[in-house]
Structures are given as C-alpha cells and as structure tokens.
Structure 1
Amino acid sequence: MSLRPAPLSASDLLRLGGYGLRARPLRAVLSALGIAIGIAAMIAVVGISASSRAELDRKLDALGTNLLRVSPGDTMFGEQAVLPDEALDMIERIGPVTAATATGMVTDTPIYRTDRIPAGETGGLALMAAQLDLLETVGAELADGVWLNGATARYPAVVLGATAAQRLGDVPAVWIDGRSYPVTGVLKSVALAPELDNAVLIGWAAAESYLDFDGHATTVYTRSIKEKVEAVRGVLGATANPESPDEVNVSNPSDALVAQRAAERTFNALLLGLGAVALLVGGIGVANTMVISVLERRAEIGLRRSLGATRGQIRTQFLAESLLLSLLGGAAGVLGGFAVTLFYAGTQSWPAVVPLWAIGGGLAATIVIGAVAGLYPAVRAARLAPTEALGAA
C-alpha cells in the first residue's frame, strides 16, 4: 500500500509561512518595510493628489463650472421674447439639474435713497424680483443682514447688491414707486452673477403685488451634474420654451469646466505612473528576499524533503511565506499612506481624500507582488533534491 502525504491545511500553511519570517525577523522586517514604503508611497501620492484635486474641484466649482443661464432672446420679428410662466418648473424637472432659480426684471421702476431725490437721479440701479433659493444656486453670500424669507418676500422689503449698497450708502430703506421699502440685507459681490451686484432684489410675490411686474423670469440660473452639463445645455432651450426654442438664449459651459477635466486626466495619468513605480520597487524587494531565503535554507528544504514533504508542499510553503510577507508590508503601507495623506491635507487645509480603489488596489497589489515575487524562489526550492540540498548545506 502506497502512503500519500497529507495535504497542508490553511493553518499549517500560515504556521509554515510565519516560521520562515520569525526565524529571520530582521530580514523580514526590512523586506516588509520595503513593501510598506512602496505601498505607502503609492497611497500617499494617490491620496495627496486626490485631495489636491478635490481642493481644485472646490475652487473650480466656485467659478461656476456647472452653472448655466437661460434668458429670453428675440422673436422672429426682432422683438424681445418672453419665457413662459412654467419655464422654471419645467427646467427643474430635467434629470441632471440639481438646482434652478430665477430673477425677473421689474422694468421702468426707478430706485431712490429717499423721496426727496430728484426724479432723474436713480443711480442706474436695476430692480429684480428674486426666488428665495437664489443665493444657494449662484453661490452668493450676505455681507450684512438677512436674505428674503417666506414672510418678507411677500411684503415691501429689499436686499441690496454690493455695488447698489455702495451707491445708496448706509440707508435703512429705499424709495420705490412712492413707497418706502426696508433694506433687510446686503450681498457680497457675486462672482458667478455679477449682474446682481448692481441690483436691488425684492421677493417675487411682493413684486407682483406692489409693483408692475408681469411674473416672467428674465434669467434662470441652473446647476447640474458636472458630467451632464453639455447634455443639459442641449435641452434647456426646448424645455424652457417648447413652442419657440429658438427664442431662448442659453449660456455656454464655463471654461473652468474644460480646465477641470484636463486636470483630472493629468492627475489620473500621474497616479498610474507613480503607483506602478512604487509597486515595482516593492516587488523587487520581496523577490530578492525570497531568493536569498531559498539559498540560506537549503538544509531545511533537504530535511523536510527527506522526511516526506512533496515538491508541491515545499513550493506552497515558500509561496505562502512570500504572500504573508507582502501582506504584512502592504497593510502597514496602506495605514502609513493614509496617515501621511491626512497629515499633509490637514496642513494645507484641503479636504482629505483617499480613494477606496487605492486602498483596495494597494492590498490587492501586495497579493500579486507576493505571488509573482515568490513564484520563482518557490519553484526553485521545490526542485532541490533532498541529497543535493543536504549536501550543499
């Protein structure tokens, strides 16, 4: 009856792999350190670059990369067109649109500091009816006071744009169409909608109730998913005015969006290149360690072979040792790279971003490195005959 060696269980392989590392702790630590540095460098480079890109995206978003404007154009007879009353509601139903708001010009309505200002000295200010969500959509901020709310938007109250506030001075109220309108707030300069700087803003309902406002939007501001900006622009005209889409003007996407996408492509290429170099360095370190380990442990290999260990078991032992060494180094590298990213992003006041694919890719890469780097030494160890191994020891 022939005797067959028992297969090695997972726990046996773990103990064998761990024994090889424990027997030479300094070399194991140094080898794992080499992998850890390589993986940490990859994670740190990816994390810092991703954090930098997140900061760049934040700044570019502030420039309105996903902001589009819709306004009425001219009719076929050369007259000023009008957006339908339902234009804003229909635009809000577009799938990729995340926010939409509107302003409406209140024409032929001069604005004065007091009722004693001569009729011709209006200061060239524009009176606009505004939706309550205007600030969030265009990224505007208040310099003083409060914005219109559900109550004040129905009654005579206004908010001044930055330039309008400078021209009117520090006044508690303005005089419009024979009535005093209290000033509830003042806006900071709005980079994405500079036309608001020279405006006096009133609630939509109040403009319809107290002034000669027809309720038609003259500018609709939309925010959409960045990847869908061009697609949204293509349907805005027909959505805002289905009967006469040619009578609608739609702004072009910001040049910042083009710059943002170019930066993303550059960052992606950089991450792939640096990550590949880091992994290559780690893999060479593991391969070097395992080859030397096979040369130094020929006596152990010969003894195990003489006691009945098969070539497959020897090969599996060294492969498991290589994988374990790589995993230890990879785990330490992921933690190290994550810590470096958090520290550096914190010093730069950036949002800390470490993509999950980088963490998962780093751990998966260590497995591949361990398998590839340990394959040749494992095969070489398995090919040693017992007499050859014991004789060379």
Structure 2
Amino acid sequence: MTATAVPVPDREVLRPARLRPADMVRVGAVGLRTRPLRAFLSALGIAIGIAAMVAVVGISSSSRADLDRALAALGTNLLTVGPGSTLTGGQSQLPSPAERMVAGIDGVESVSAVGRIPDAKVYRNDRIPEVQTNGLATYAARTSLRSTVGAELADGTWLNAATARYPAVVLGAAAAERLGVGHAGQDTQVLVGGRWFTVVGILQRAPLAPELDAAALVGWPVAARELGFDEHATTVYTRSTEASVEAVRAVLAATANPEAPSEVQVSRPSDALAARRATDEAFTGLLLGLGAVALLVGGVGVANTMVISVLERRAEIGLRRSLGATRGQIRGQFLAESLLLSALGGLGGAVLGLGVTTGYALYQGWPTAVPPWALAGGVAATLLIGGLAGLYPAIRAARLSPTEALATP
C-alpha cells in the first residue's frame, strides 16, 4: 500500500480589521470627551478667529446693503453746481440766471437752489455771545429744495409759498441739535440775523446734501427783504433722468456760467457715498487680515493640544498598536480628533459671528446681510487649519512603536 501525501492547509493570514469612517469619528471623539476643558479652550481659539472673520464680513455687507438701500431711495441722479475759484484764487459767483438756465437743459427733471447769507448768524436767544455761532449757516432756500434733494422732515412742515415770505425757518438736523430745539411750533423761535424766526420744521439728516444738516433755511423772499440776501445762488441742485445724468453733467458748468465755466464746480453727491463704500471695503480687508491672524492663533492652539495629547497618550497608542491597530489607523484617529476639534470651533464661530452681525445690524437699523460664502468659507478654513495643525501630531503618533510606547511611564 502506497502512502499518499496529505496536503497541509496554509495558515490563515490575519489582517487588521478595517475601521469605517463612522468608527474613525467615534474613536477620534473619545479624546475630546476625556479632556473636555482642553478641547473647549482649543475650540474657543478657533471660534474667536472665525467669529471675527464672519462678523467683519457680515457687518461690512450689512453696511453696504443699507447704503445701497439709501441710494436706491434717494437716487443717484442728483447733481450740484456751485461756485469755484477764480484765476486769481478768489471765490467766484454764479450768475443770477444760473438756476433758470440749468433748468432748460434737456434731461433735467427738477431744479432747486440755496443761497448762503454770510452775515445772518443763528442763535437760540439774544443772550448768547456773538462769537458762539456753533458753526451754523443761514441759507435762503427755494420751496422745491426738499423734494429735489430728497430730504425728509423729522418734525413740523417744510417752507411753502406762504411761509417763505414771512420769518419762518426750517432747521437742519445738526442745527436743531446744537440749538437745543427738539420740536417745531409757533412757540419755538430762534434768532436769525438779529430777527426772530419761528421754527416751522426740522429736517432729518440729508445724506446727499450734508451742508443742509448744520443750516437754518429761510424763504427766498424773506431773505432778500429782511436779511440782505443778494439773491445769488451758491448751490444749484438738479435731478436728471438716469439715462441722461452724464450728458447733463458734461454741460452743467458751461450752462450755469457761460462766461467762465472753469470757475464752476459740478459734483455728484452719490459719488461721495460710493467713495465711502470703497473705504469701507478697504477697512474690511484690514479687519479680515486681523481675523485671519486670530484664526492662525487658533490653529496653533489646536496643534499644541494635539501634540500634548500624543505625549500624554503614548501608553494608549502602544496598547492599540499591540492589539493590532495599524499606523494608518492611529494616524487617522488623531487626525479625526483634530478635525472634530476644528469643526466644533468653526461651527461655533460661524454662529457667534452671525449673532454679532445680527445684533449690530439691528442696533444700527441696517438689514442683516451675511454672505453664505463667509459662513461656508469660515468653516472650510477651520477644517483646513485643523487638518494641517493635526497632521504632524498624527504622523508622530503613528510612528511610535508598541514597545516604545508601552515602556513610557
């Protein structure tokens, strides 16, 4: 009988169990739960940086949204004409028919004007020293001025054909505040050019005509009769159709003063608001840089936390390696812990920044406008910072050999 060889089965090769992503997240969360205070402080550093970035972008966007809303309400088709400088450096003067000539330009919808009365000082009563003028100016105003510049009344009424002939005055917002006048009425009077004028109205602040805020506005006829006004306009305001604004602007100087157009200044008040918006954007860039620095500091905090965590948990790492955990699994555990820590800080910072923006916008009366990209970008930035900050500690943990780690006291 011949003996037959019995095949010996190969020994089964044991492979380490694979960790699913969900398991990796749970393992990474263990380190955060066992050290809650340290995790909270590290996440707080990230949250402050993200909150700063989101709040800066949100507040700036809300401010611009309010400015856009104001421009839409006031219109960007207001142009102003005023006297410039003469060739000798003196102050020029608009000719008397300038207002009428400007009104004849094609595309101009409405025209109004004011004329400054330099010798008519404004006082609350006759006991105030003459030198204490509070920086207030007196203007003769056309009755069409308020509708042309888009000014709103805070109290009382505007000048009309009747009150423009009598000692009645409308105060700008800053003028009323400096004079201590809180309301308009028959019993409220101020001294204008040595004569008593009844305050019939108070204006709100005029964004497109800020010179009116610190002014006392009286009727054109009474200014000529009682205050020595020479009836020369110092500023002519024009409203044009949106399509013809630039064409009107090009001919305004030559129309207002045909003999010396170079001595006329033409401006578009909304351009100043647009310049302010550009300044806000530059300021936003600066603050974003500060927010980025705060975010970087938070990332350093995460890296520091993870490095200390690796040093403190060498025994745990050695035990896991002895039980079969691979270097990749150890690396994934600490990287997941770092990403979770950063995600908590990023989400908390986004919520905090949104809350700060909303509260500040409500306080200022602005619409709340936080761009979605700011929230998403903030969270994405924290994950990127967290991943980079946790990469070195994760690699360092994975390189520890089981014997070296278990031998650590």
Map of 2:316 onto structure 1 = 300
TM-superposition CA deviations, 1:82-101 (whole Å, max 9, x none): 445xx47xxxxxxxxxxxx5
The correspondence of residues 373-392 of structure 1 with structure 2, limited to 5 A, is: 373-392=389-408
TM-superposition CA deviations, 1:178-228 (whole Å, max 9, x none): xxxxxxx9995995477x98589xxxxxxxxxxxxxxxxx9852587xxxx
Partners of 2:28 and 2:334 within 8 A in 1: yes
Specify the code of the residue in structure 1 equivalent to 2:319: L
Change (3 A) 1:296 1:162: farther
Change (3 A) 1:361 1:162: farther
Map of 2:386 onto structure 1 = 370
Map of 1:269 onto structure 2 = 285
Residue 78 (structure 2) pairs with residue 68 (structure 1): yes
Separation (CA, whole Å) in 2 of partners of 1:289 and 1:304: 21
Q: Secondary structure at the match of 1:309?
A: coil
Partners of 2:60 and 2:280 within 8 A in 1: no
Separation (CA, whole Å) in 2 of partners of 1:104 and 1:38: 51
Map of 2:30 onto structure 1 = 19
Separation (CA, whole Å) in 2 of partners of 1:69 and 1:52: 24
Separation (CA, whole Å) in 2 of partners of 1:289 and 1:161: 76
Identity of paired residues, percent?
54
Specify the code of the residue in structure 2 equivalent to 1:288: N
Of 339, 348, 353, the match for 1:337: 353
Map of 1:253 onto structure 2 = 268
Change (3 A) 1:198 1:64: farther
Separation (CA, whole Å) in 1 of partners of 2:161 and 2:272: 25
Give the count of matched residue pairs.
297
Partners of 2:56 and 2:284 within 8 A in 1: no
Separation (CA, whole Å) in 2 of partners of 1:349 and 1:37: 25
Separation (CA, whole Å) in 2 of partners of 1:297 and 1:235: 75
Map of 2:44 onto structure 1 = 33
* Structure 2 portions without partners, runs of 5+: 1-11, 82-99, 114-139, 170-184, 186-199, 222-235, 252-257, 259-263
Separation (CA, whole Å) in 2 of partners of 1:311 and 1:22: 23
Separation (CA, whole Å) in 1 of partners of 2:342 and 2:353: 16
Deviation for aligned residue 1:328:
0.8
Q: Secondary structure at the match of 1:221?
A: strand
Q: Secondary structure at the match of 2:79?
A: strand
TM-score, with structure 2 as normaliser = 0.56
Residue 152 (structure 2) pairs with residue 141 (structure 1): yes
Of 22, 35, 43, the match for 2:54: 43
Specify the code of the residue in structure 2 equivalent to 1:33: L
Partners of 1:42 and 1:275 within 8 A in 2: yes
Separation (CA, whole Å) in 1 of partners of 2:26 and 2:394: 17
Separation (CA, whole Å) in 2 of partners of 1:348 and 1:70: 29
Of 295, 300, 304, the match for 1:279: 295
Map of 1:221 onto structure 2 = 239
Map of 2:20 onto structure 1 = 9
TM-score, with structure 1 as normaliser = 0.58
Partners of 1:141 and 1:188 within 8 A in 2: yes
Partners of 2:303 and 2:389 within 8 A in 1: yes
Q: Secondary structure at the match of 1:160?
A: coil
Separation (CA, whole Å) in 2 of partners of 1:69 and 1:252: 6
Deviation for aligned residue 1:388:
1.6
Specify the code of the residue in structure 1 equivalent to 2:79: R
Partners of 1:160 and 1:187 within 8 A in 2: no
Q: Secondary structure at the match of 1:66?
A: coil
Specify the code of the residue in structure 1 equivalent to 2:300: I
Change (3 A) 1:104 1:280: closer
Deviation for aligned residue 1:286:
0.4
Deviation for aligned residue 1:355:
4.1
The correspondence of residues 170-189 of structure 1 with structure 2, limited to 5 A, is: none
Deviation for aligned residue 1:354:
3.9
Partners of 1:47 and 1:341 within 8 A in 2: yes
Separation (CA, whole Å) in 2 of partners of 1:26 and 1:318: 18
Deviation for aligned residue 1:43:
3.3
Deviation for aligned residue 1:315:
1.0
